[in-house]
Structure 1
C-alpha cells in the first residue's frame, strides 16, 4: 500500500479552523509539517486572516524552551509573522490529528541566514575564504550540537510519526539569494561545485591528507580561469581536482552526514527518520549528496526530489532502488507547468520503486493544482 502525504506550513493551519479539513479532503494520510524552516515568502489563498506570509528569517515553529538551549551559541529564533502563537507546530499538529491525519516534522537543519550571520565562523567557507551565511557547516561541533538539540526538543515535546530531515549536510553555491546576480557569469556546473566545497577549519582539519591549502589554491585558479578566460574548470570534480582528491572530499562528506544521521537517531528513538538525499556525492544542497550505501545506520527512508525532468526523476528512483533496500519516498511537485500530468507521473514513480509519495504543496497549490494532487492520490491508492 503506497503512503501519500502532502507538505504544509504551520501558517496554513494556525488561525484557520477549516484548513485541516481541506488538507484531509485531498486524500493523503500524512502531512509533512514545517517545524524548522528557512526564510520564504508564501501565498495563503484560503486563510481568513492573511494572503501572503513573509518569513524574513529562518525560524523554529515549535515551542522554544530557553533552559534547553542555555550555553549554546546557536539557538533557534521564533517567528514573528502569521497568526501569533508561541507553539505553532503544536497547534497545527492538534488540528491535523483531530482530522485523522498522521504528521511528520519537516526540519530544515543547516539552512539559516540569521544564525549564519551571527556566527560566520560556523558557516561553509569556500576556497576564496568567503563564507556562505545561509549555510551552517555540519562538520562544526557547535552546528551538530544545535542540530541535535533541535531534534531532541522536537521529540521531547511532540508525538510525531517521522522526522523529515532537509539540509542535513552542506548547502553550496547554489542557493537563490535575494536578488540573485550570478547567472551572467556563465559558471559551469563543475565551477559551481568547486565553489561549494567547504574548507572551513572543521572541514580542513578532516581533509588534511589532501593538503587543504593547496586544494584551495587550485580551486581558485580553476574558477578564476573559467570566470576570466572562459576556460571550463572541468567535467566534474574528479576531472578538475583529480580523482584521488575528489574521493577524499566525498568520503569526508559521506562520513559527516552518516555520523550526523546516526547521532540524530540516538536522540530520536521514537520517530522514523526520512532523509532528503540524492545518490551523488558531488551534490550540495537541501537534498544532501552522498552515497546511499555508505550509512552504517541508514535512515528509515530516502526522500528523492522528483521535480521538473520526469525521465531523470524516474531514472534516479530506479537507480536508487537497485542500490539500496531502504524505502524510497518520491517528492513530487504540483506547482510545475502541467499539474494534469501528476497522476501518470506518480504511477510511474511507484512502478520504478518508490513506496511513498509526498506532494508539494497543500498550502501553495491553486484549486486546479489541489485537484491534481487529489486525482493522483485517488489513482494510486484506488
Structure 2
C-alpha cells in the first residue's frame, strides 16, 4: 500500500456504466428492453460497438464482427449508434460526479475515477459511491457499477466484481490478497498480447506474478515490469488527474482470428475510431496526426501516419484517415493480429459547427 503521506490512505472510486450504449438504447426504446441488442455493426462488414447484457451470454462482445455476432445470437437486434446522445448522457453523469469531488478523471464516456479523500464530509467513500449510483439511476434511468478502494488499480478491478448494477469494496488490508487470486487477464494494464507472453513464462495469476522478482519482470517487460511488480502487491500510487495533459489518444484491439483483407480491417477500425473520439470529446481536443498501428502474426509492428495542418474535426474524418492508411499495411501474407488508431499532435477542438458525421453503422 502506498499512501500519499504517512498515515494517509486515499479513497478512490471507479464508476463504470453498465453496457452504456446498449442501455441508453433500451432506455429510450421500450421495445428493446429485455432483448439482445448490439449497437453498430449492422452491415456485413461492420463491427459491434457495444452489446447489451442479454446478448452477452451468447458470446456477443464489442469489437466482434457483426456476421459472427448474428451467427452466435440469431435474435440479435442491431441498432444504429447515436453518439451525440451518449455524449449528452455522459455529461449528465459527470455533473453528478462533480457534486461530490472536483477530482474526476474520465477514461471514456462511460467510466471515470473519482478521488474522494478530501471530500468525505463525515461520510465513507462507500456511502458516497452508493449515493452516486442512486442519483445516476434516478436522473438518467441507467445503472452503474462502482468499485471502492485505496488506489486506482484496485478500484477498477472492484467495479467489475458485481456487474451489472453492483458495488464492491476492497479495503487496504484486503488489497494484496485480493490481487493474488485473480487471473492475469483480469488485470487492468495487461492486454491479451502481454497476458500471452506472461503465460509463456508460467505467469497465469496474481500469485504467479507476485513470485517474480523485479529484475525478472523489468528484463522481460521493460519499464512496465515495475508496474507489474507493484500491482501484484496491491500497490498503485497514480493520482486521479482531472486535467492530465496527454500527448496522444489511442485505442487498439487484438483479434481472435487474424485479418488478411482490407474489408475486414476497415470494419475493425470503426469501433477503434469511435473509442478514440469519445476519449477526445471530454477533453475537447483533437489532433493533426492520425497513426495506424498494425501487428502481424509474427509480432512485427508497423505504423503509418498522416499529418495535416488542421485538426481532425469528426469521428468520421478520423475513421476515413485511418482507413486510407490501410493499403500501406494490407494485404500481407502474414495477416494482422492487432490494429490500432492514435490521434496525436493534440490541440483544442475548434468550436462552432462541425462537419456532419458519416453513417458509420448503417
Q: TM-score, normalised by structure 1?
A: 0.28
Higher-helix-fraction structure: 1
